[in-house]
Amino acid sequence: MSAADSTTSAWAAPRTLIGRDRECARLSELVTHVRGGGSRSVVVSGEAGIGKTALLDFVAHHANGCTVVRVDGVESEMELAYAGLHQLCAPLLDLLDLIPEPQRDAIGTAFGLTGGRAPDPFLVGLAVLSLLSEASSARPVICLVDDVQWLDETTKAALAFVARRLREDAVGIVFGERDGDDDTALPGVPRLVVEGLPDVSARALLASTLTGPLDERVRERIVAETRGNPLALLQVPFGLKSDEVAGGFGLSGLGALTGRIEQSFRRRLAPMPAATRRLLVVAAAEPGQDAVLIWRAAARLGVGPDDAEPASADGFASFAGLVRFCHPLARSTVYKAAPPDERRAAHQALADATDPAVDPERRAWHRAQAASGLDEEVAAELERTAMLAQARGGCPASAAFLERAAELTPDPALRAERAVAAATAKYEAGAPERALRLLAIAEAGTPDEPLGAQAQLVRARIMSRLRPGDGAPLLAAAARLEPIDHALARETYRDAFYASHIAGRLAEHRMEAVAAATRRSSRSADPIENPFDRILQGVAAVVAEGYRAGAPMVLDGLASLSPTDLASAQAPRWLPFTCLVSFAVWDDDSARKLSTLTIDYARGNGVLSMLHTALMLGAGCRLFEGDIAGAEALSDECELIGEATTIPKPPYGVLMVAAWKGREVDVERVIAEATPFAVERGEGQWLTATGWAEAVLYNGLGRYDRALEAAARGGEHASELALANWALVELVEAAVRSGQPERAIDANRRLSEMAEACGTDWIVGVAARSRALLADGDPAESDYRLAIDRLARTPLRSELARARLLYGEWLRRERRRVDAREQLRAAHDVFDEIGADAFAERTRRELAATGETVHRRAPGAQVELTRQEAQIARLASEGQTNPEIATQLFVSPRTVEWHLRKVFGKLDIASRRELGEALKKADAVAAV
């Protein structure tokens, strides 16, 4: 790797490339755009030898005035965590002190510069984004990333993240990726597909390589069979015999294109001295291109500097500075052409030359490649190294080390143990198929019962990922684990429960079966070990036997969660589940505290998959509290996580916010777009959410027939808990208002049972509100007053406003207009303030019916901020710093600064101290 002002290639690219006007024009435009202060990325894709590397060299050659950094993916380095990213960032590490502390810690841990918790790959990606942004403040930065298909997985994930999140930074990234490899490695990045040269250009390129005449028939055959592949056109003439060149009578079939190119490289290798070939094998086996290490290893094989001359004179490889081959296929050809014993000797020499204190992972990997058979010493070193990789967040690398350790282990029992560990790591690294193969190895070794149970658990988790909603494998694994590891068994029951809840009505193994199995797992002779266990046992009882049986246990468990429990090592694994359950038992206080704690933990540790769930739960809290703007901000952050990480999730937050705002078009659009995806994923919870959200929407709009049908869909499966419970509340209101009170009877009964079992102000309030709708006279008024009294004790402003609205409507129908106005005014003030437009309009109509005129709020001078400007302005007004905002929104601090300058201009203010007041004065912050 190198950084330079213009070119980083060992061979400078020409000013123009034959037949590549279209590609060169697009890449030149990218460089011009970056020089102008913008950002851009592109994937240059095509078959081997099509000219991707030459196009990257072209970019480097024309990037005058820019800092150019280059990364070359190498096949033998794919298992080393963050190896490619280290190439990219090495020249930028002096800027580490300028990026936010969480990012600095993450990248320091990933690169082994500091110790600490294994970082989330996306937090590492954000750190790289910030480093590039800081570097671009001095001069534009161009990153050239060649052979993406051979980068390690951690690097690919980080660079894909960076490419998608580039905003207002003078940074350009050009990727080179071979066709036919993983074309999903860089989702969302524009592609430039490179095809074979036109015949005219192919003939010109071929002619440029020849030193003598070429028979026309031979030329046309070469042009036709190489299909315009530039590398093939340049390499095929090497080694052609005189009769083949002159008349073509001896020209054999060129064969497969890649094979023909490799054959041409083999021909160039053949006449080189044996010592030169040994040197090239060492260089091919060491992807780091570190000349010092390569020469040190070569010396152990009796090779000296003079032996490099034949390869350098041929142009096959350069040993000036970094060691580089003329083309990636030249490197792979050298490695594949070498006999196995020579490859092993090269790896052993490299292992011996590598300092184990400085680079233990590289040394262990070379030792593994040098092993010719079973070797416990090497296997043990790989196992130790896997732990180091895991600590740095290199889960794919850890999995690769453990897999190789298992393969080299001579003892069957130990091999099975390592195979299970490798399978676990492969699963966590997102390679379930490879994990299943390793489990087969482990099971063939007749593992003991604890190891067998662990293997079954890994298999169950894989099956759960491959077949969402199928909880049977997890339940079977949990039952087997009970006599071995009760704590792990309980966590497995929890996971089965959570999976079944997400799958909902689409689950193959229904929630009731999971709850029954969880209940059976409780051993009456043993006390329940901790609050998390009590919560799990209680919610299983709720599903299996009803709220009276389980809600008190859940509430007791939630109440007994101490700061020590919430700071324990096991807490992060329980937090999302526990927060979800708190909604199920109508404990708004616990829901608020746990969602905030989960968000803070996930943000602080960069656990974006957990953060996505926590934000959705937090958005639910804020909606009921009447903070629609806050819920929308969390929802937007959810969508940013989806964009940044490509974590596929239906847009629950967007749906809920649109429903409470009364935006019918938006609700219908979101449901139409997301439902097929959710069903395909087996996420039945989404269907419940859409039923509840539509019911809220249409109750607000006063279209009660539609609200009733939607609520009935949302609440038909009681075991789906929180969302289904909320749908029951909407159902009672919609049924009564649509003149079908009989359809509300069962829902009202269920809500009353929950109120009796849970006793929280939230459920007591909404249950009383629902009963009042079905009552007359004094009982109705008594329940309305009870609802208002209990809900007023909570921060749930939306729920309280709806209780006042319903009470006001009842009072008006009772011809008590003065009393009605009091309730309706209070409700309207809240709905109008929080932006619940449909409910505000419904309340305004009711007030008008009492004889009081309430004018719709005049929109005033609307300030048009973009979605990102609005997010940044809100966070800045809350006192967050630019680095804090950047971390939360997955952009660079410079992007935050750029957007704030635009916000200040639009709001006509000079500092962030004025933001809060300016945003209040602006009647609406409109997202464009």
Interatomic CA distance for residues 612 and 253, integer angstroms: 56
pLDDT at 250 over 70: no
- Which tokens sit at 866? 């973009």
The whole-number pLDDT of residue 907 equals 85
The whole-number pLDDT of residue 869 equals 82
* Cβ neighbours around 433 below 10 Å, total: 9
Interatomic CA distance for residues 748 and 736, integer angstroms: 11
Nearest one of 589, 576, 595, 484 to 535, comparing CA atoms? 576
Q: For residue 173, what is the enclosing H or E element? A: strand 171-178
Beta-carbon-side half-sphere exposure of residue 77 (alpha carbons within 13 Å): 26
87 and 47, same structural domain? yes
422 and 333, same structural domain? no
The answer to whether residue 375 sits within a structural domain is: yes
pLDDT per residue as tens digits for the range 350-359 = 999 999 888 8
End-to-end CA distance of the chain: 42
- Which tokens sit at 411? 């003892």
- pLDDT category at 856 given cuts 50, 70, 90 is low
- Which tokens sit at 195? 């095809």
Nearest one of 407, 433, 432 to 419, comparing CA atoms? 407
The answer to whether residue 647 sits within a structural domain is: no
Domain at 876, CATH number: 1.10.10.10
119 and 227, same structural domain? no
The whole-number pLDDT of residue 248 equals 44
Domain at 44, CATH number: 3.40.50.300
Task: Report CA-CA distances (Å) from 178 to 44, 69, 148.
Answer: 8, 20, 8
Nearest one of 798, 514, 826, 844 to 656, comparing CA atoms? 798
Asked if 503 contacts 684 with a C-beta cutoff of 8 angstroms, the reply is yes
The whole-number pLDDT of residue 926 equals 38
360 and 328, same structural domain? no
229 and 157, same structural domain? no
Beta-carbon-side half-sphere exposure of residue 417 (alpha carbons within 13 Å): 11
Could you write out the three-class secondary structure of 549-576?
HHHHHHHHHHHCCCHHHHCCCCHHHHHH
- Which tokens sit at 450? 């604890």
Main-chain phi, psi angles of 531, to 5 degrees: -60, -35
User: Which domain-ending residue is among 447, 471, 504?
Assistant: 447
Asked if 250 contacts 244 with a C-beta cutoff of 8 angstroms, the reply is yes
Least confident segment among 1-5, 733-737, 759-763, 771-775 = 1-5
Interatomic CA distance for residues 567 and 600, integer angstroms: 12
The answer to whether residue 881 sits within a structural domain is: yes
- Cβ neighbours for 283, distance < 8 A, ≥ 6 positions apart: 294, 317, 323, 325, 331, 334
Interatomic CA distance for residues 120 and 110, integer angstroms: 9
The answer to whether residue 78 sits within a structural domain is: yes
The mean pLDDT value for 856-864 works out to 56
Interatomic CA distance for residues 831 and 626, integer angstroms: 8
Mean per-residue pLDDT over the chain, rounded: 85
- Cβ neighbours for 922, distance < 8 A, ≥ 6 positions apart: 860, 861, 862, 863, 907
- Cβ neighbours for 220, distance < 8 A, ≥ 6 positions apart: none
- Cβ neighbours for 897, distance < 8 A, ≥ 6 positions apart: 882
- pLDDT category at 645 given cuts 50, 70, 90 is low
276 and 175, same structural domain? no
The whole-number pLDDT of residue 862 equals 56
Exposed, middle or buried, 68 (CB in 10 Å: 0-12/13-18/19+)? buried
pLDDT at 257 over 60: no
Asked if 286 contacts 352 with a C-beta cutoff of 8 angstroms, the reply is no
- pLDDT category at 659 given cuts 50, 70, 90 is very high
297 and 360, same structural domain? no
The mean pLDDT value for 193-218 works out to 79
Pairing status of strand 317-318 against strand 925-926: unpaired
Interatomic CA distance for residues 483 and 488, integer angstroms: 10
The answer to whether residue 70 sits within a structural domain is: yes
The whole-number pLDDT of residue 470 equals 66
User: Which domain-ending residue is among 418, 447, 476?
Assistant: 447
pLDDT per residue as tens digits for the range 380-404 = 999 998 888 777 766 777 888 898 9
The answer to whether residue 792 sits within a structural domain is: no
Residues β-bridged to residue 864: 926
Task: Report CA-CA distances (Å) from 42 to 5, 144, 457.
Answer: 21, 10, 41
Interatomic CA distance for residues 565 and 535, integer angstroms: 13
Nearest one of 155, 306, 308, 684 to 470, comparing CA atoms? 684
Q: For residue 199, what is the enclosing H or E element? A: helix 199-209
- pLDDT category at 299 given cuts 50, 70, 90 is very high
Least confident segment among 504-513, 530-539, 690-699 = 504-513
Chain centroid to CA 499: how far?
A: 19
DSSP code per residue over 579-642: HHHHHHTT-HHHHHHHHHHHHHHHHHHT-HHHHHHHHHHHHHHHHHTT-HHHHHHHHHHHHHHH
User: Which domain-ending residue is among 353, 381, 408?
Assistant: 353
200 and 118, same structural domain? no
113 and 64, same structural domain? yes
pLDDT per residue as tens digits for the range 147-175 = 888 888 778 888 888 888 887 789 999 99
The mean pLDDT value for 368-376 works out to 92
pLDDT per residue as tens digits for the range 756-770 = 999 999 999 999 999
Q: For residue 260, what is the enclosing H or E element? A: helix 257-269
172 and 62, same structural domain? yes
Residue with tokens 């082994």: 112
Main-chain phi, psi angles of 74, to 5 degrees: -130, 130
Look at phi and psi of residue 120 and say left if phi exceeds 0, alpha if psi is from -120 to 50, else beta: beta
In this predicted model, which residue has the larger pLDDT, 83 or 717?
717
- Which tokens sit at 790? 């209990």
293 and 224, same structural domain? no
DSSP E strand boundaries for 483-610: none
What is the share, in percent, of the chain residues with pLDDT greater than 90? 44
The whole-number pLDDT of residue 9 equals 38
Number of domains into which the chain is organized:
5
Chain centroid to CA 833: how far?
A: 35
The answer to whether residue 844 sits within a structural domain is: no
Asked if 509 contacts 460 with a C-beta cutoff of 8 angstroms, the reply is no
Beta-carbon-side half-sphere exposure of residue 76 (alpha carbons within 13 Å): 26
Least confident segment among 396-410, 658-672, 816-830 = 396-410
**Cα Rg of the chain, angstroms:** 33
The answer to whether residue 664 sits within a structural domain is: no
Residues β-bridged to residue 46: 178
Interatomic CA distance for residues 406 and 531, integer angstroms: 39
Nearest one of 375, 448, 391 to 416, comparing CA atoms? 448
Kindly report the length of the chain: 928
Record the pTM.
0.74
Residue 313: give the domain boundaries: 268-353
Domain at 430, CATH number: 1.25.40
112 and 50, same structural domain? yes
- Which tokens sit at 214? 């070429």
Pairing status of strand 324-325 against strand 317-318: antiparallel
pLDDT at 66 over 60: yes
